[in-house]
Amino acid sequence: MGHLLDHAPALAADVIDVATAALSAAWPRSLAAREVERLAEDGYVIGEACDVDFALALHTPELADMALSAITLAGFTALDRHPDAHGFVTVRAPVRLRAYDLVRAASRLNRAVWRYGGFAEVIGPAAPAAAVDMPGRAA
């Protein structure tokens, strides 16, 4: 029983992530659902796993090393180990291109860095979509 109580905060956070992600995926006007629609229009295969970039803003430069260590433990990779002049770092992780998965990944990243003065937002897939012949679109 003690083991379960030790993991209760992490379990509660995971339940909140799952609920938020499920609502974002189900609600067609959610930001995540609109982002997935935009990705589909740009030629990405929805549901396919790919590397997704995130912008990580670090407002407390003296805690940047701890924040970057936390993102590594959460399964993300910092493309640069030092924030730029504005405190930003680009972070990458493999994510399935679905509203649910994008929200869960962003929530996991934000939970890893909030205590170090950080905040993250999805940028988008790291690689451009494969060239697809799409009638009606300008080249």
Q: DSSP letters of 19-86?
A: HHHHHHHH-TTSHHHHHHHHHHHTT--TT-EEEEEEEEEES-GGGHHHHHHHHHHTT-EES-SS--TT
131 is a domain residue: no
Contacts of 78 (CB under 8 A, 6+ apart): 56, 68, 71, 72, 89, 90, 91
pLDDT of residue 40: 93
Per-residue pLDDT tens over the stretch 16-51:
666 666 656 666 677 778 889 999 999 999 999 999
33 is a domain residue: yes
pTM to 2 decimals?
0.78
116 is a domain residue: yes
pLDDT of residue 23: 59
- The CATH number of whichever domain residue 99 belongs to comes to 3.30.70
Per-residue pLDDT tens over the stretch 94-131:
999 999 999 999 999 999 999 999 999 999 999 998 86
More confident: 136 or 75 = 75
